Amino acid sequence: MTVAVRDYMILEVEKVPESATIEEATRRLLQGRHHGLPVTDADGKLVGFVSSKELLRHQGERTLPLKRILRPGTYTARPETPLDDAARVMFRYGLRDLPIIDDDGRLCGIISNLDIVRSHFERASPQKADTLRTLLTERYRLSFGMRRGVVPIDRLRPTQGKVFEDELEGRRYELERGFAEPVLVVEKGDQLLLVDGHHRALAAREMGLTQLQAFIIACERPEEFARLELGFERGAKAQRLERLDDIEVDRSAHHPLIEVTTQLLRRFEAGSGAAPPPVP
């Protein structure tokens, strides 16, 4: 299924009318977190986009209305535009924000380069979950299903004994801005084994959240599966990991910015009782 701009665009758009002065537009920009603002006419139709750079150029003419300095037209996309096509336009022209218009030319949304990055991670997560589901199926000759849902944070049992403070701070930043990549959980008896997403879970709990989006892998013969002991379960038991409080936060080292999922799966496949490597 093709992912479209409408799947990731922001509907509540910060914008300014073309009648607003340079001073008013500058104030609006400083109050938000954007690098520019779409400009609309009295009918809500998009007439242009004013950047912070453009406003800086005209700070000596603060009382001028935007329509006096605005370059007519701007790059746009439609809600049905494939997301990858919109990303190419933004990359090609160095755009941080791309206004979205309807068939009548009215502004109906906006997508930023951060939304594009978010879509990449969210689309990659199901592949990671499916890889683990396949591995469990092959190793135990049992059938496993996968679903997306919400899990209570206080029910998560960690399988990783240490996280890094700098990466934890990064996850807080992401969550504050609405980027909530799902964690990866294996449902086993009454346990929810957290396989991937320890930094996310800890950051969310510190922020006062009580639940997280998750990809949940569950066996279709749960009673038989509950009698087995998994490799990362043994690792968690060896480290006495029962709750998120049992995870050590390392404030002295930096998180290694490398892909570790393959290492985790190989260690699990080998049935090692050692703790899996850190996973963000």
Nearest to 72 by CA among 49, 89, 56, 53: 49
- Residues 181-214 have pLDDT tens digits of 789 999 998 899 999 999 999 999 999 999 998 9
- CATH 3.10.580.10 for domain 5-114, yes or no, is yes
Alpha-helical segments (H) within the chain: 22-31, 52-57, 83-93, 113-140, 165-176, 198-206, 222-226, 231-238, 261-269
Q: How many helices (H) and strands (E) in the chain? A: 9, 12
* Rounded Cα–Cα distance for residues 129 and 148 (Å): 10
* pLDDT at position 62 over 90: no
- Residues 20-50 have pLDDT tens digits of 999 999 998 888 777 889 999 999 999 999 9
Q: Do residues 217 and 188 make contact, with C-beta atoms less than 8 angstroms apart?
A: no
* pLDDT at position 120 over 60: yes
DSSP H or E run through 37: strand 36-40
Q: Do residues 9 and 110 make contact, with C-beta atoms less than 8 angstroms apart?
A: yes
Question: In terms of DSSP bridges, do strands 183-188 and 191-196 run parallel, antiparallel, or are they unpaired?
Answer: antiparallel
* Rounded Cα–Cα distance for residues 148 and 126 (Å): 9
Please state, as a whole number, how many other Cβ atoms lie within 10 Å of the Cβ of residue 86. Answer: 25
pLDDT mean over 87-112: 92
Least confident of 80-89, 207-216, 262-271: 262-271
Dihedral class, residue 105 (left if φ above 0, else alpha if ψ from -120 to 50, else beta): left
Q: Do residues 221 and 192 make contact, with C-beta atoms less than 8 angstroms apart?
A: no
Centroid of chain to Cα 69 = 36
DSSP H or E run through 46: strand 46-51
Q: Where are the domains of the chain?
A: 5-114, 142-269
- Residues 131-178 have pLDDT tens digits of 899 999 999 999 999 998 999 999 999 999 999 888 888 888 878 877
* pLDDT at position 274 over 50: no
The class level of CATH for 142-269 reads alpha beta
